[in-house]
């Protein structure tokens, strides 16, 4: 039995608490969202140096389940779960890519990209889903009557839920907005055997449906309003600090849709601060698509008010969300972390992704939003070119091939493809090929 403890607690400030194996997503007393709270007094029995040493010793380990970037921090995630019931694909431990050439284009020498798309299902959603499905698996193994897990999704959440549920042998149900996600994102849950329901609505409509469906306690909610997801996603903060030898970056830019990832970032850094592993906080920047920008509009008012919007179709489909479930948690985090919210147009996000690709990346459109926001904030001198800055790449570009093809063919309606690179069609004539190559070398070196 673990010496450490964690429970659900209402974020609205009332005294409601629930065990982590209880099927509950909102406070039964006031309706507020819940968060996982750890007993810090117990955690402080280990010094900061001891925690750093423990986490470092598990990096790349093969001993189950500590080789996972999430479960290597098990005591800070779900300390009491039985290791045999953990559902893990050794997620996490993703590359911190030094974007050297891209940074040089912007006058920056300390720009990094956290490659969260280099994961089992190709997105950062794996970080949270291993925790949620593990807890469900643990509950089932101990006799709780749960017949399925379910989620609403703009693509990546459904892929992660389907894969982890399939690995555990738990049925899964996913609700997707029809014709609003990429083909790859649609195929992933189909391939993993989910019950896939494609609804003629947007993500917010799917979210309303799944909340009603999961009122049946035997169908467990897999969306980020379930704070077990946040416990996995918060480890990205710990992992980034660990990758910099426990030094903290100056700024972190992350795409924002349903906004659970924002509070997850803040939670990880806050926990390290409370336990003495780090001494300062980074600045958190949320990047939103201009066509789905409710948090940005609230930021313009100093967060004095928040109004949902009706999202318009955007290339950044995974963040095409107008009524984010985790907005209150996100605003609290941004206030605490000197946060900034900026938006990017379709043209800006498409060209920022393409420019980054020219330096060796392969960016999804949502990461393109973050890159576009980085460029804007550097040009406005809101962020310093001397800052150590990390952009969170939330998904792998290979999941969005239609976006890439459309860009390079000049077929994206609201983007002028300034960095398009089309194949040059030629006959197999060596002299002509030589002429074309010489021309291309001259143009690209000019």
- What's the confidence (pLDDT) of residue 15? 81
Give the CA distances from residue 187 to residues 22, 134, 196, 348, 406, in Å, rounded to whole numbers and listed in that order: 32, 24, 10, 28, 20
Q: Is residue 278 domain-resident?
A: yes
- What's the confidence (pLDDT) of residue 441? 94
Domain extent for 303: 96-122+230-408
Q: Is residue 282 domain-resident?
A: yes
- What's the confidence (pLDDT) of residue 411? 97
The single residue listed with the structure tokens 């001891």 is 50
- What's the confidence (pLDDT) of residue 60? 83
Q: Is residue 88 domain-resident?
A: no
Q: Is residue 234 domain-resident?
A: yes
Beta bridge partners of 391: 113, 253
Which tens digit of pLDDT belongs to each residue from 176-228? 999 888 888 889 999 999 999 999 998 889 999 999 999 999 999 998 789 99
- What's the confidence (pLDDT) of residue 247? 96
Per run of 10 residues, the mean pLDDT along the chain (length 446 residues) is 89 89 92 93 97 95 94 98 97 96 97 96 96 98 96 90 97 92 87 94 91 94 90 97 97 95 96 98 98 98 96 93 92 97 98 98 97 98 97 95 96 96 95 96 87
- What's the confidence (pLDDT) of residue 186? 86
Task: Give the CATH number, domain containing residue 292.
Answer: 3.40.50.1100
User: Into how many domains does the chain fold?
Assistant: 1
- What's the confidence (pLDDT) of residue 309? 96
- What's the confidence (pLDDT) of residue 1? 62
Percent above pLDDT 70 for the chain? 100
Q: Is residue 203 domain-resident?
A: no
Q: Is residue 35 domain-resident?
A: no
Q: Which are the contacts of 43, defined by CB distance < 8 A and separation ≥ 6?
A: 4, 51, 75, 76, 275
Q: Is residue 377 domain-resident?
A: yes
Global confidence as pTM? 0.94
Which tens digit of pLDDT belongs to each residue from 388-435? 999 999 999 999 999 999 999 999 999 999 999 999 999 999 999 999
Burial class (CB in 10 A: 0-12, 13-18, 19+), 46: middle
Q: State the chain's mean pLDDT as an integer.
A: 95
Q: Is residue 9 domain-resident?
A: no
């Amino acid at each position: 039995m673990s010496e450490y403890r964690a429970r659900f607690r209402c974020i609205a400030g009332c005294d409601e608490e629930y065990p982590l194996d209880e099927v509950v997503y909102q406070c039964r007393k006031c309706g507020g969202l819940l968060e996982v709270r750890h007993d810090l007094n117990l955690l402080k029995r280990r010094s900061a140096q001891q925690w750093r040493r423990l986490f470092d010793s598990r990096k790349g380990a093969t001993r189950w389940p500590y080789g996972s970037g999430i479960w290597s921090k098990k005591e800070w995630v779900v300390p009491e779960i039985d290791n045999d019931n953990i559902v893990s694909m050794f997620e996490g431990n993703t590359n911190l890519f030094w974007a050297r050439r891209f940074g040089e284009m912007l006058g920056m020498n300390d720009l990094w990209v956290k490659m969260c798309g280099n994961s089992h299902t190709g997105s950062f959603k794996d970080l949270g889903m291993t925790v949620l499905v593990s807890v469900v698996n643990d509950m089932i193994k101990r006799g709780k009557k749960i017949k399925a897990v379910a989620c609403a999704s703009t693509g990546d959440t459904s892929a992660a839920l389907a894969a982890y549920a399939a690995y555990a042998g738990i049925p899964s149900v996913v609700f997707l907005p029809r014709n609003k996600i990429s083909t790859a994102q649609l195929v992933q849950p189909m391939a993993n055997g989910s019950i896939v329901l494609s609804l003629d609505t947007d993500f917010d409509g799917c979210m309303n449906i799944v909340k009603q469906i999961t009122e049946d306690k035997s169908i467990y909610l897999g969306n980020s309003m379930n704070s077990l997801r946040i416990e996995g996603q918060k480890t990205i903060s710990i992992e980034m600090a660990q990758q910099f030898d426990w030094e903290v970056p100056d700024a972190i830019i992350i795409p924002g849709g349903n906004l659970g990832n924002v509070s997850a970032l803040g939670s990880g850094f806050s926990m390290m601060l409370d336990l003495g592993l780090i001494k300062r906080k980074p600045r958190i920047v949320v990047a939103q698509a201009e066509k789905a920008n409710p948090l940005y509009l609230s930021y313009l008012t100093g967060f004095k008010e928040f109004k949902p919007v009706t999202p318009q179709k955007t290339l950044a489909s995974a963040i095409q969300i107008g009524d984010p479930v985790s907005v209150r948690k996100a605003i609290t985090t941004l206030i605490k972390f000197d946060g900034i919210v900026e938006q990017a147009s379709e043209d800006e996000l498409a060209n920022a992704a393409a420019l980054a690709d020219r330096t060796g990346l392969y960016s999804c459109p949502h990461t393109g939003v973050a890159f576009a926001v980085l460029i804007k904030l550097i040009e406005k001198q809101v962020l310093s070119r001397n800052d150590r800055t990390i952009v969170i790449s939330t998904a792998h570009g290979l999941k969005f091939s239609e976006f890439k093809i459309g860009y390079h063919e000049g077929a994206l309606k609201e983007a002028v493809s300034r960095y398009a690179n089309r194949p040059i069609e030629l006959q197999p004539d060596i002299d002509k090929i030589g002429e074309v190559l010489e021309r291309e070398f001259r143009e690209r070196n000019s």
